[in-house]
Structure 1
Amino acid sequence: MLAAYFDDSGTHPDSPVVAFGGLLGTEEQWNVFETAWRALLENPLPGKPPLKQFHLAPLRAKRGEFEGYSLAERDRLNYLFRHVILDIGLVTFAVAVDRIAWNKLVVGPMVEEVAPPEALCFVKCVDSVLATCRFRKPGQPLVIVFDQGVRRQLEIWGRFYKSQREKYPEIAGIGFATVSEVLPLQGADLIATESYQFAQEWLKSPDGPKANPHFQDFIMRDLSGGVILTTEHIEEIIERWKSVSART
């Protein structure tokens, strides 16, 4: 059994970017991941109390459970958690949509008829995972889990994939779960948050975006894939919508 976990970042209406990030691994890899991740939660750093959850945004902002951490301690903890992912060799995925461009271009009747950027991220994530599984582990069943917070928006898209068993026979299930309770989703949170921040930098300066040093290892490795959907991609979606609308 293969399993992929995805979290989201920037899904609030005034966000400049919508991003999804996730991880794909085998059952054996996920067993190793959960053991290592839980050990870090229970003993994050010498002298620090156990953590209920790893959440990258509060760590960077020194909020919540990380309020008493110095900059050096937060940097060290970020390093330890990201290396759980890297050392196990999980495949990472990221999809981001320029929401500012989306809001400028998707207007009028399209707002109600074109799927929102969160759905576009969802579809890109599922399709990317399927393509990777078919290349690396053909024929193996796959379960995909997303953050519970986007269930209301995206559950219909999960049902769409599951309804087409002949086209997507690998998909054993698409579900939603709570990040605080499912450790792999906390790993996905790390990728989603980094991707959200990197996408904003990329949109400002496509020729020389500044990646957080902790994200650099993910960008440079062969087991990582990602896409940022910009004005050009959104215009293509609008043209397809116009073409379909003209025929109906």
Structure 2
Amino acid sequence: MQESLRVFIDESGVHDNSPVVTVAMYAGQPVDWRLFAQDWNAAKHPINIIHAVDCANRTGEFDGWDRDKRNAFAAKLLPVLPRHNLVGVAVGINLEHFRAAMAAHPELVDMVGTPYSACFQWAVQTFLNMMGQYGADQPVQFFHEHNDYEAEARVAFKFVQTHRPTKEPIALSFISKADAVELQAADVLAYEANHVLRSPKGARRPSWDAIDPDRNIITLKHYGEDNMQILVSTLLDFRRRALAAGWDGIVDPNG
């Protein structure tokens, strides 16, 4: 039986009044994830579970650390990510401009739901589009953390699963960061991508340079004032195609 490509998903910007909500994911083959986990576990010692926001703010397991110790830790940990055969996708949506655009298209609000749901749906869709472009046809197993957004993720995933552009089997499971170090990688990517996408034309942070040094590992998409209409037009087209394929225009809130 063909092994599934494994994709680990996390979000950022949903709790801290961020102007952007971001959903990010890393994908890799099982063998590559096993090699990553060995490397990551060694590099993150003595930390048990990496939470990027705790590392940045020196809270949680990083409580009591000074900046120099934190920076040295990050300089050792972050380069683990580009050393392995993983690819990333991160999608950020500017909340102010998204809400303004959706006010003019209530039919899209019914389809995409909350900003988080829209971002999750669009990130998964972007990844599947990439797979289709590369001709990949293996099953895909997505993993999402058990958290407050689990129910929304289920609904958004079910919609994409029904109307996806490719026909490889896809599935979604929920696990914890304690049980999957791969989710810790997605946590870092979501946090760093959110900071990039708050000011997408600005200078990149050194931490971003560490995880994507040659700008060829992470696909970043940002929807804000300059290009929100592109997202709206694409969603309208997606909705038209779904209706033509038999969708009744209702997203099941029970997933």
Q: TM-score range by the shorter chain?
A: 0.7 to 0.9
Q: Which residue of 2 aligns with 1:124?
A: 122
1:187 aligns with 2:190: no
**1:30 is matched by which residue type in structure 2?**
W
Q: Which residue of 2 aligns with 1:47?
A: none
TM-score normalised by the chain length of structure 1: 0.81
1:139 deviates by 2.0
Match of 1:94 among 80, 87, 90: 90
Q: Which residue of 1 aligns with 2:37?
A: 34
CA shift digits 1:186-243 (9 cap, x unpaired): 10010100011111122xxx3xx022101024164222211101135434555666x9
Match of 1:113 among 110, 113, 117: 110
Q: Which residue of 1 aligns with 2:60?
A: 64
Aligned ranges for residues 193-212 of structure 1 at < 5 Å?
193-202=191-200, 206=201, 209-212=202-205
- CA distance in structure 2 between the aligned counterparts of 1:97 and 1:3, rounded to whole angstroms: 24
- CA distance in structure 2 between the aligned counterparts of 1:148 and 1:211, rounded to whole angstroms: 30
- CA distance in structure 1 between the aligned counterparts of 2:101 and 2:222, rounded to whole angstroms: 16
Q: Which residue of 1 aligns with 2:253?
A: none
Contact 2:144-2:173 within 8 A present in 1 as well: yes
Contact 1:4-1:129 within 8 A present in 2 as well: no
Q: Which residue of 2 aligns with 1:152?
A: 151
1:8 aligns with 2:8: no
1:40 deviates by 2.9
- What SS class does the counterpart of residue 106 from structure 1 fall into? helix
- CA distance in structure 2 between the aligned counterparts of 1:60 and 1:193, rounded to whole angstroms: 10
How many correspondences in the alignment?
Answer: 232
Instruction: Identify the range of structure 1 (22-31 vs 80-89) with the bigger mean alpha-carbon deviation.
Output: 80-89
* Identity among equivalent pairs (%): 19
1:169 to 1:103, Cα distance in 2 relative to 1, 3 A: closer
Match of 2:131 among 130, 133, 140: 133
- CA distance in structure 2 between the aligned counterparts of 1:194 and 1:78, rounded to whole angstroms: 12
1:95 to 1:109, Cα distance in 2 relative to 1, 3 A: closer
1:84 deviates by 1.6
**1:158 is matched by which residue type in structure 2?**
F
Q: Which residue of 2 aligns with 1:215?
A: 208
Unaligned regions of 5+ residues in structure 2, if any? Answer: 241-248, 250-255
CA shift digits 1:62-95 (9 cap, x unpaired): 1111122221221122122222211113111110
- What SS class does the counterpart of residue 23 from structure 1 fall into? strand
Contact 1:89-1:223 within 8 A present in 2 as well: no
1:196 to 1:164, Cα distance in 2 relative to 1, 3 A: closer
- What SS class does the counterpart of residue 142 from structure 2 fall into? strand
1:112 deviates by 5.3
CA RMSD of aligned residues (A): 2.8
Contact 2:157-2:172 within 8 A present in 1 as well: yes
1:33 deviates by 1.2
